[in-house]
Structure 1
Amino acid sequence: MNTVIAFIIIFGALVFFHELGHFVFAKRAGILCREFAIGMGPKILAFKRNETQYTIRLLPIGGYVRMAGEDPEMVDLKPGFRVGLLLNQDETVQKMVVNNKDRYPNLRVVEVAEADIEKELYIKGYEEGEDQLQTYKIARDAVFVEDGVESQIAPWDRQFNSKKLSQRAMAIFAGPMMNFVLAFIVFAVIGLLQGVPTQEPELGELLDNGPAAQAGLLEGDRVQQIDGQEIDAWNDLTSVIQQHPNEEITMTVVRGEETLSINVTPEVQDIEGAEIGIIGVYSPIEKSPLKALSFGAEQTYFWTVTIFDLLGQLVTGQFTIDALSGPVGIYKSTEVVAQSGIYYLMRWGAILSINLGIMNLLPLPALDGGRLLFFGVEALRGKPIDRQKEGMVHFVGFALLMLLMIVVTWNDIQRFFLQ
């Protein structure tokens, strides 16, 4: 149960911050955001605030912000179409009822002669039993009502494609960007609460019954020499110790006013087939807000470079698709990490956030990076690519991504449950 809760919290946070980036910058650009969704598939929870519906959906495979204009708008009022109009006190259309008009007793049923519900915002038509053409002004926040469901109209200036290229690009880029921001915040919080490792050649926390503790070393001992070799930084200390697995070494340490020589034998640890020495001691830590911010930036940069390096290895064939993990693999990894403590779980969440940000920036159809690639082509051409062609490319890309997700998930199931 703890793993399920940890997985839901981590997944929810990653997707929430990603979609929050899209949402905030879309709203800043004046785009109408119809829905803010966490997850995919059927709704399990929904509520509406102002003009946006917020939903949590069943399948934990992503989320989305549905912006007006990204898909074809809801209803096209063509000539001959019969629609019920509900006017407000200013005689402006507030609701347009497409069917089930008998539920609204005060409707004016109009046969449409001409309508513009994007730019000029009007309807011209004939009321029942009237021969005179009437013109009705549509409110900017008017809604369609179909089968009892209300959907707000989107004037052209509130649609995604009406905005400048820079605004559209920022609304898309902001999603991955927020994943990096989240990772930075989490790493900084870890640094603030747990402390930041320093390069001082001083012993931090010692493991119980580790070689260092058994030899009589204490937390706070400052190492001057190992076997006569000068030690100036933590990296010097670890480097020398690693070179002497199962070999006795003499450490010269300063403890208060004393200088002591203590013999210790590093135990052997196997790291990817190589044997190194360890003595069971952590590096010293320092708690400082500035150090924590620096630690957050350094860790975010380190893991960004590391993940890009792994992607490069995937492209060059140094490891195959079998090494990739999907939701099942991430769940199982979360189960292992959760057993190590809250800080490890926070670090794991930050790494996943960076991974999500990078994956979404890849120039592949259906991903944010693919959409940014189309914006780049638009900037070079001076005009957008045909929306139907772009939509087809993204549709095919999404289908291929779903296929990849199925393959990766099946590999995870075989790896964790069928072996």
Structure 2
Amino acid sequence: MLPSPGILFTILMFVAMISPLVFIHEMGHYLAGRMFNTAVDSFSIGFGREIFGWTNRRGERWKVGWLPLGGYVKFTGDANAASLPQEAARVNPAEKPFLFAFKPLWQRAIIVAAGPFVNFAAAILIFATFIAIYGQSYTSPVVSNIVTESAADRAGLAPGDRILKVDGKAIERFEDIIGIVMINPGTPVSVDFERAGAVRNIVLTPDLIEEKDRFGKTFTIPRIGLIGEERGVIERGPVESLWYGTEAVFATTGMMVEGLVQIVTGRRSVKELGGPLKIAEVSGQAGTMGIEAFVNLMALVSINLGFINLLPIPMLDGGHLAIYAAEAVRRKPIPPQVQEWAFMTGFALLISFMLIVTWNDLASFGVFKHVAGLIG
């Protein structure tokens, strides 16, 4: 069992994890803006008071804030970091061609979407690099053994069965089954399999098993009890690696979408959501396990950052894109007052979300039990 990393190491790993991802996200916005000759006031990594910074020859202020939980690009003419436009009457007509708020709709959409796109691209590059260097693990989707009294055993699966689909998703390798089962804890899933040339179907419910990670922390995972054949490794060339790296990002994003739908519909508890404290914890743990584990986690967090930012919530990139979609349908801009109310609502939603995930993080660390023990 590995010792838990110290607080200082965890904080350093968290900053090392988040800062590069925030930087490339905002750099996506910045580079897309520059591509369309959009004037920029400032580029910030982190929020709050500026720790240090500099002004480049274009008059753009590049700075680092004391709270490394995000960042922003403030385009000239925006009233704030959320890119709400200033009153048009106060804008110099000569500056309008260079201001984000007055750019064509399609250019604004590209600038906003560039941030999440870069996060997904970074994850693809990381996965593709790992596949190119180490190859891709492959286990045939043929069952070699069944765990006694497991969900698969109770459902009637047997050695020699070839798994074709799980929860309606095609299975090409045994590893595909794991990802599907992980997002269906305690939820019945349909399994299509081939036995003696005939295709059959059964429905099983994964068992919830308590285990301990290498740091001694208890967690619960779903398990169906299938054992595959001996795992092998397939070497992939650069183009293949890029293809399978992209496939892995799409699959991971799909699992995030399904997990969110399950939480919204009540199939999974909101307690499963984690926040910055949980990311900090796993960042510290990954840091003790070596650079490969740390970079792999960085790819997953990058996907998560891109996915969350595309949610249609005002204040996030997806909220901007939703407003632009409405503008395209209406063929005229959304009234500024409506946009301001939307962003105020989005801000309230984000604060509520942060409170929920922070509460979950503190509960997972046992803070409330400890406080209750002190009071009792």
Give the TM-score, by structure 1 length.
Answer: 0.62
Letter of the 1:180 counterpart: F
CA contact (8 A) 1:196 1:291 kept: no
**Could you tell me how far 1:23 is from its partner in structure 2?**
0.6
Structure 1 gaps, min length 5: 77-114, 121-154, 202-226, 240-268
The question of 1:342 aligning with 2:291 is answered yes
Name which of 365, 369, 373 aligns with 2:314.
365
Name which of 312, 315, 330 aligns with 1:381.
330
The residue aligned with 1:24 is 31
Partner Cα distance (2:237, 2:266) in 1: 43
Partner Cα distance (1:373, 1:345) in 2: 34
Partner Cα distance (1:334, 1:118) in 2: 47
The residue aligned with 2:120 is 180
1:82-116 Cα distance to aligned partner (Å, 9 max, x none): xxxxxxxxxxxxxxxxxxxxxxxxxxxxxxxxx98
**Could you tell me how far 1:274 is from its partner in structure 2?**
4.3
The residue aligned with 2:77 is 69
**Could you tell me how far 1:273 is from its partner in structure 2?**
5.2
Name which of 85, 93, 101 aligns with 1:119.
93
The residue aligned with 1:402 is 351
CA contact (8 A) 1:234 1:283 kept: no
Partner Cα distance (2:176, 2:97) in 1: 61
Letter of the 1:4 counterpart: I
CA contact (8 A) 2:77 2:100 kept: yes
The residue aligned with 1:195 is 135
3-state DSSP of counterpart to 2:51: strand
Aligned pairs for 1:11-410 within 5 A: 11-50=18-57, 51-71=59-79, 118-119=92-93, 155-198=95-138, 235=173, 272=222, 274-277=224-227, 282-286=231-235, 288-410=237-359
**Could you tell me how far 1:158 is from its partner in structure 2?**
1.2
CA contact (8 A) 1:119 1:156 kept: yes
TM-aligned CA distance change 1:45 to 1:313, over 3 Å: same
CA contact (8 A) 2:116 2:307 kept: yes
3-state DSSP of counterpart to 1:402: helix
The question of 1:3 aligning with 2:10 is answered yes
**Could you tell me how far 1:416 is from its partner in structure 2?**
0.8
3-state DSSP of counterpart to 2:365: helix
Partner Cα distance (1:238, 1:183) in 2: 19
CA contact (8 A) 2:42 2:63 kept: yes
Partner Cα distance (2:311, 2:285) in 1: 29
The residue aligned with 1:131 is none
**Could you tell me how far 1:237 is from its partner in structure 2?**
12
TM-aligned CA distance change 1:352 to 1:395, over 3 Å: same
Percent identity between the two aligned chains: 32
**Could you tell me how far 1:309 is from its partner in structure 2?**
0.9
TM-aligned CA distance change 1:377 to 1:238, over 3 Å: closer
CA contact (8 A) 1:34 1:53 kept: yes
1:147-182 Cα distance to aligned partner (Å, 9 max, x none): xxxxxxxx1111112110000111111111111111
TM-aligned CA distance change 1:116 to 1:287, over 3 Å: closer
Partner Cα distance (2:38, 2:54) in 1: 20
Partner Cα distance (2:160, 2:348) in 1: 64
3-state DSSP of counterpart to 1:284: strand
What RMSD, in angstroms, separates the aligned Cα atoms of the two structures? 3.4
Q: Larger helix proportion, structure 1 or 2? A: 2
The residue aligned with 2:185 is none
Which protein has greater RCO, CA pairs closer than 8 Å, 6+ apart?
Answer: 2
**Could you tell me how far 1:238 is from its partner in structure 2?**
12
**Could you tell me how far 1:337 is from its partner in structure 2?**
3.0
Partner Cα distance (2:160, 2:274) in 1: 47
Partner Cα distance (2:363, 2:174) in 1: 43
Partner Cα distance (2:341, 2:35) in 1: 28
3-state DSSP of counterpart to 2:42: strand
Letter of the 1:163 counterpart: K
CA contact (8 A) 2:39 2:75 kept: yes
Give the TM-score, by structure 2 length.
Answer: 0.69
3-state DSSP of counterpart to 2:106: helix
CA contact (8 A) 1:199 1:234 kept: no
Structure 2 gaps, min length 5: 1-7, 142-158, 163-170, 178-209, 212-220, 370-376
1:10-49 Cα distance to aligned partner (Å, 9 max, x none): 2012111111111111111111111111111111121111
Letter of the 1:58 counterpart: W
Letter of the 1:27 counterpart: R
Greater CA drift, 27-36 or 281-290: 281-290
**Could you tell me how far 1:2 is from its partner in structure 2?**
4.2
Partner Cα distance (2:35, 2:231) in 1: 46
CA contact (8 A) 1:44 1:56 kept: yes
1:52-91 Cα distance to aligned partner (Å, 9 max, x none): 1111111122111001122189xx9xxxxxxxxxxxxxxx
Letter of the 2:92 counterpart: E
